[in-house]
Structure 1
Amino acid sequence: MKNKIVKVEKGSIAEELGIEVGDKLISINDIEIKDVIDYKFLITDEFIVVRIEKENGDIWDLEIEKEYDEKLGIEFENSILDEATRCSNNCIFCFIDQLPKGMRKTLYFKDDDSRLSFLQGNFITLTNMNDEDINRIIKYKISPINVSVHTTNPELRVKMLNNRFAGDIYKKLEKLAKGGIEINCQIVLCPGLNNGNELKNTIEDLFKLYPSIKNVAAVPVGITKFRKGLFDITLYNKESSKEEIINMSKLQKKYIEKIGYPFIRLSDEFYVMAGMEVPNEEFYGEYEQLEDGIGMIRIFKSNIKRSLKKLKKNVKGDFTIVTGVSAFDTIKEAADQIMKLNNKIKLNVIKITNKFFGETITVAGLLTGQDIIEKLKECNLGQYIIISKNMLKSDEKIFLDDIKVEDIEKIFGKKMLIAEYTGEDLIDILNNFSKEE
């Protein structure tokens, strides 16, 4: 039932033709729909014949004339119309291998699926893809895709991914680039392995495929307290983070002179650990790498600065803002700016130490409900509690440990307000939930 239709949009082509929830999509133009890539490719034509199996078993062949790229207006039970491809690697830095037992099952699934890369922005390693798979990406123009590279050194990549098929990454990237596919690259940096000169060599290799590869993001390896019996990895500290920033700045300067932007960017965690100010807004371009934690601090600061003029001066409110260790100083600075403009608004910023995963995990997006509850029990809370959206499961008000927003609201008798982690709606939230005097 992977092709089962679970939603038909009102006023859509599908509704007009009598397609209903529970029907099953069989084929388009006599081509069987194996997955979402087939569907998205075939649906673009201006004239198509769609075969539907009704719930009672009847088969309908529907001739449809439409605008190019116009959608039918249907959604399926399974977003990719197939089982997601499992990861075949055993990466020495894998975060999932460091999760404790007892969390929800979906958190333990390691996907390495190009379709999810295209649809949801997931990163893939390309290790489980053969020439036929690569050709299909090129044929269907599945672009952009996000690739976890880590290193272009074949021997080192085999070691880091614990997969003897991992060494041909550059050959695959080159083929995708020649096929017109846009690629975003990610590197998880492990001190003493793929940083320093290895990182420099990797970046210079990837730049040879510019402009197909437009951006490279480098993030520090994350280590939880549950990492036992695994490869011994060194964490970044203040000195090594600063050294990485300085080393990369030389390459970034070269690329800025060549193409107008730095090509390789380090995540905000490096600057926080090094005690250094993040680069200016121009450095981050259109913030294409926000999901990797690249430029979060800068965009937050810029959004607060731009929106401060909207802050109402005749309102009074009392709020508690919850955040992680990495973002605390940035959020506290913004709170001080806001209270300076309106001293009738009280903002108490609470720093949550990650006891669930361990204190080495400092980002807000990996905070759990139980750590938040434990800390807030010690605090004098305002009328409202503000959290960032990236703490919650996508499109659901639930934390990593399955504690719900409503659970915390019941414990403390306070409403939780959910803000964008980029800060553009924080002032609006304060205005809307403060009282006029």
Structure 2
Amino acid sequence: MYELTEDYKLRKITKFELDMVDERDDLLIIPPSSKAGPCGNDCVFCYLTQNPPQMIYRVAKHDTLNDPELERRVAYAREHYDLWIRVTDTSANVRFDENRIESLYNAGLDEIQISLHTTKKDVRIKLMHNRNAGKVIDLIPKIVEHFRMIADIILTPGYNVSDIGKILDDLDSFGVHEVRLFPVGVTRFSKTRALTREELLFVKSVALEKQKDLGIEIVIPPIFQALLGEFTTGLEPFDIEMNIPTYILTGELAYPEMKRLFPKLNVVMVRNEVFGGNIGTAGLLTGYDVLRAIKQLPEVDLGILLLPEVMFHGDITLDGWKREELFNRILIEKGYIVETALEPQEIPKILERF
């Protein structure tokens, strides 16, 4: 899988940088460029409005379809690479109509992933606080004529949970090819609540039942599975023992699976106190959370500490810790050499060096 960078180069990516959903190997993602304008929404679940004050790394509200260079980027990718081209990060509420659909089709786009959330126009308007949010519902038949369409549903109590069966029926009747069901992420600064276990089980039950009868592909992503304690990578456990103190730090959601994969190593669950709420993904861990966790580890002459690579955005954590500064502090204060891994299967290769 690949991503087209700002300077029109291919960057190899993994599913851990996307939705953690298994994807086709020849996928090319066209993300929003720095020229992409705002999304025009004020969604009740937007993560940008529920960030803690400690957060330094911030992203502006943007929408890939509100990028004046999108067609040029798609056309470049189509001309130079024999890959499956997908546009993501869009609610399709700005700069999107039948003419734009034709324009993107002519540029060579294969697939579009839209944050749809519901098939009811009035509910989508309320959910996104955008009076134009209902228009894309009428465009769906045109969209699916030209592209493979993925509909993202962020399951939000009071908006789209109780009628998820009707939503799936509607999407199937529209001809949408795939739907992904994401539980709403809630921090301690959120105005919305997280789904209860009963609600998660209800949605899962409906989805599994509908999948038997409908043609649409219904995806329950790993984040959903993890909240139910059902996430697994499908990998066999690694039979690894180390002669020096070794610790693997991970988020709450991945902890049970990492513990299963590395039964002979020390796996430490790091609670996300900066964000709070139901935020337990490794990608949202902060430097503060990591430093708080290692206070409980013994001081050693030499040890190894493995951190999830996804907690770094470039070379900085969400709360502003530079990679080198964080690693040096851990080494000086506790004696651990710090390494990072993006995927569990990278860890054995890293540990072979020690």
Q: Same fold (TM over 0.5)?
A: yes
> How far 1:87 sits from its partner (Å)?
0.9
Q: Identify unmatched segments of 5+ residues in structure 2.
A: 1-5, 11-30, 75-84
SS of the aligned residue for 2:181 comes to: strand
SS of the aligned residue for 1:303 comes to: coil
Tell me which residue corresponds to 2:130: 163
Tell me which residue corresponds to 2:36: 84
Does residue 370 in structure 1 map to residue 288 in structure 2? yes
1:116-162, Cα deviation, whole Å (9 max, x unpaired): 79788532011112333233112213232211010011111111011
Q: With structure 2 as the length reference, what TM-score do the two structures score?
A: 0.77
Aligned partners of 1:82, 1:362: CA distance in 2, in Å? Answer: 29
Aligned partners of 1:161, 1:88: CA distance in 2, in Å? Answer: 9
Q: Partner letter of residue 420 of structure 1?
A: L
SS of the aligned residue for 2:157 comes to: coil
> How far 1:189 sits from its partner (Å)?
0.4
Aligned partners of 1:267, 1:8: CA distance in 2, in Å? Answer: 29
Aligned partners of 1:82, 1:397: CA distance in 2, in Å? Answer: 19
Aligned partners of 1:365, 1:237: CA distance in 2, in Å? Answer: 22
Q: Which has more radius of gyration?
A: 1
> How far 1:8 sits from its partner (Å)?
10
Tell me which residue corresponds to 1:409: 327
1:241 touches 1:271 (CA, 8 Å); kept in 2? no
Instruction: Trace 1:90-129 onto structure 2 (pairs within 5 A).
Output: 90-101=42-53, 103-104=55-56, 107-114=58-65, 122-128=88-94, 129=96
Q: Cα–Cα, structure 1 residues 318 and 215, in superposed 2: closer, same or farther, change >3 Å?
A: farther
Q: 1:193 aligns with which of 155, 159, 162?
A: 159
1:385 touches 1:415 (CA, 8 Å); kept in 2? yes
Q: Partner letter of residue 324 of structure 1?
A: G
Tell me which residue corresponds to 1:357: 275
1:85 touches 1:111 (CA, 8 Å); kept in 2? yes
Tell me which residue corresponds to 1:26: none
Q: 1:226 aligns with which of 189, 196, 201?
A: 189
Q: 2:222 aligns with which of 247, 268, 272?
A: 268
1:196 touches 1:247 (CA, 8 Å); kept in 2? no
Aligned partners of 2:252, 2:276: CA distance in 1, in Å? Answer: 12
Higher relative contact order, chain-length normalized (CA < 8 Å, sep 6+)? 2
> How far 1:424 sits from its partner (Å)?
2.5
Q: Partner letter of residue 183 of structure 1?
A: M
Q: Identify unmatched segments of 5+ residues in structure 1.
A: 10-78, 278-296, 340-346
Aligned partners of 1:102, 1:335: CA distance in 2, in Å? Answer: 32
> Kindly, what percent of the aligned residue pairs are identical?
24
Aligned partners of 1:223, 1:332: CA distance in 2, in Å? Answer: 25
Q: Cα–Cα, structure 1 residues 348 and 144, in superposed 2: closer, same or farther, change >3 Å?
A: same
2:240 touches 2:262 (CA, 8 Å); kept in 1? no
Aligned partners of 2:33, 2:196: CA distance in 1, in Å? Answer: 44
Q: Cα–Cα, structure 1 residues 380 and 304, in superposed 2: closer, same or farther, change >3 Å?
A: farther
Instruction: Trace 1:278-427 onto structure 2 (pairs within 5 A).
Output: 297-298=231-232, 300=233, 302-305=234-237, 308=238, 316-336=243-263, 339=264, 347-380=265-298, 383-393=303-313, 396-413=314-331, 414-421=336-343, 423-427=344-348
Tell me which residue corresponds to 1:46: none
> How far 1:112 sits from its partner (Å)?
1.0
1:237 touches 1:274 (CA, 8 Å); kept in 2? no
Q: Cα–Cα, structure 1 residues 409 and 192, in superposed 2: closer, same or farther, change >3 Å?
A: same
